[in-house]
Amino acid sequence: MDGEERRQEIVRLLSSSPNALTGTALSRQCQVSRQIIVGDVAVLRAQGVPIISTPRGYQMLTSAHGRVRRVFVCCHGADKMRQELEAIVDNGGIVHNVVIEHDVYGNLEGSLHLRSRRDVNAYLQRMAEANAELLSKISGGIHTHLVEAATEGELRAIEAALRRSGVLYED
């Protein structure tokens, strides 16, 4: 299988899978190294294929017809991160990203794509294993999340849960 055939196979595998696929799983299917898969995904993205990275692996970014999105502004430290993310996913939300505003660089964004407690747990485990700092540490804890949900009612429930947990930033 040459590079172009392999990239077509990656698109086919991701398009047909309801779940994210790890680079390792894709490398086994295509019988190449994980690093080759990383390169292939970069090439596919450059060609406009909507592949996203999640804490559970790669997946295709699907169209969200009929879904609603809202940006929530939050402020907290590491001690409230789990509570914040679970407030969103437990109320039907998908956390697409985290964004902070930097004085020099402008907006800095990290992709998350968290849909469930399982995704939240995997993300928090990766953060702990990497001993990683929160992106929002740079901005004094203030950050935004783009959140998607099925209905405005779910977004209102998410807003209320974030407010109750004390992480919603309100002037």
Each residue's pLDDT tens digit, 8-20: 999 999 988 888 8
Amino acid identity of residue 70, one-letter, is R
CB burial class (10 A; 0-12, 13-18, 19+) of residue 146? middle
User: How far apart (Å, rounded) are the C-alpha atoms in residues 62 and 65?
Assistant: 9
CATH of 3-60, one of 1.10.10.10, 1.10.940.10, 3.30.70.2860, 3.50.30.30: 1.10.10.10
Q: Is 145 annotated as a binding residue?
A: yes
Q: Is 96 annotated as a binding residue?
A: no
- The reported pTM is 0.70
- CATH top class, domain 68-165: alpha beta
Q: Is 143 annotated as a binding residue?
A: yes
Domain boundaries, given as residue ranges, for the chain: 3-60, 68-165
Q: Is 84 annotated as a binding residue?
A: yes
What are 36-56's pLDDT values in tens digits? 999 999 889 888 788 888 778
CB burial class (10 A; 0-12, 13-18, 19+) of residue 134? middle
